[in-house]
Structure 1
Amino acid sequence: MPFIPLYAAFLLLRGRITRSEWLTRVAIAALVCAAFGSLAGAAFGEVGSGCFALLFIWIAIALATQRLHDVGRPGGALVVAIVPVIGPLWVLGQLLKRGVDHSNRFGADPASRIDYLLVDIAR
C-alpha cells in the first residue's frame, strides 16, 4: 500500500475507496498517530498528544468521506453522526456497506477489474 495516499486523502476529499482499503488506512493512521502522540505527550505534555489526536480525527473524517463516496453519499452525510445513538450507527452502517458496482458522480468503481482476465482468442 502506498504511503502517500494515506495523507493525501485529507487534502483531496474526493474519489472512492473500498472497505478494506478504508479499514487498512484508518488502522495505520491510528497506530501512527498513537505512537507519535505518545512520544509527543512524553516530550510536550497534553498539547503534543492533542495535536496528533486532532490529526487522526482529520484523517479519519477524510477517509470516511471517501468511503461514503463509494456508497454514493456525499461527505456531508457525516453530520448525521451528531444525532445521539442513531447517528453514529447509521454512519457506521454506511461505511461498512458495499459500494456501488458502477461509476457514480464521485468517480469510477475502485473494486472493478476491467480486463482482468480478458483473453484475446482472435490472435
Structure 2
Amino acid sequence: MNWYLEVFRKYTVFTGRSRRAEYWWFILINMIIAFILGFIDGFSGTFNEQFGLGLLSGIYMLVILIPSIAVAIRRLHDTGRSGWWMLILFVPLIGGLVFLVFMLLPSEAGENKWGPNPIEQGAQPA
C-alpha cells in the first residue's frame, strides 16, 4: 500500500525515476479498487452501459488520471526513455505491447539524465 500512496505523494512529479515495484503496485491496487467500485456501481444501479462506467468508478478514473500518467513517465525515465514514449499507446495493438515491454524492463543501471537509480539509492516508500 505504501507504493500506492507514494505515487499520490508525487502525483504531479513528471521528472525523476520510478522503480518497477512502484509502478506495478500502483497498477495492481488500481485494478482491485476499480473492480470493487465497478461491483458497487453495478449493485447500486449507477452503472451506465453506454459509457461502460459507473458513477464511482468514473470519479475514481478521473482522480487517478494524472498520477497514472506521472508514474508511467517516471517509469519510462527509469528505463532510459523519454516520457514522450507514452504516445506509442495511440498505435493500435502494437503500441500497447511495446509500452508493456517498456514497463517490464529493469531499471537502467547508474544515473541517467533523469536522475539517480532509485534501486541503488534504496528508495523505499515511507
Tell me the TM-score normalized by structure 1: 0.73
Give the Å deviation of 1:102.
1.0
RMSD: 2.5
Q: Which amino acid aligns with 1:18?
A: R
Aligned-partner Cα distance in 2 for 1:58–1:40: 23
Tell me which residue corresponds to 1:109.
Answer: 117
Match of 2:74 in 1: 66
Asked if the contact 2:3/2:26 (under 8 Å) is kept, the reply is: no
Alignment CA distance shift 1:7-1:105 (3 Å): same
Structure with a larger share of its residues in helix: 1
Alignment of structure 1 residues 83-122 onto 2, 5 Å = 83-112=91-120
Q: Which runs of 5+ in 2 are unaligned?
A: 48-53
Cα distance in 2 for residues equivalent to 1:108 and 1:7: 21
Residues 1:28 and 2:29 aligned together: yes
Relative to structure 1, is the Cα distance of residues 13 and 70 closer, same or farther in structure 2, using a 3 angstrom cutoff? same
CA deviations over 1:60-105 (Å, ceiling 9, x no partner): 3222111101011121111011111211111111111111101111
How many percent of aligned residue pairs carry the same amino acid? Answer: 26
Work out the CA distance in 2 between the residues paired with 1:34 and 1:10.
22
Equivalent pairs, count = 114
Unaligned 5+ segments in structure 1 are: 115-123
Read off the aligned partner of 2:79 and give its amino acid letter.
V
Highest Rg: 1 or 2? 1
Aligned partners of 2:18 and 2:78 also within 8 Å:
yes
Normalised by the length of structure 2, the TM-score is 0.72
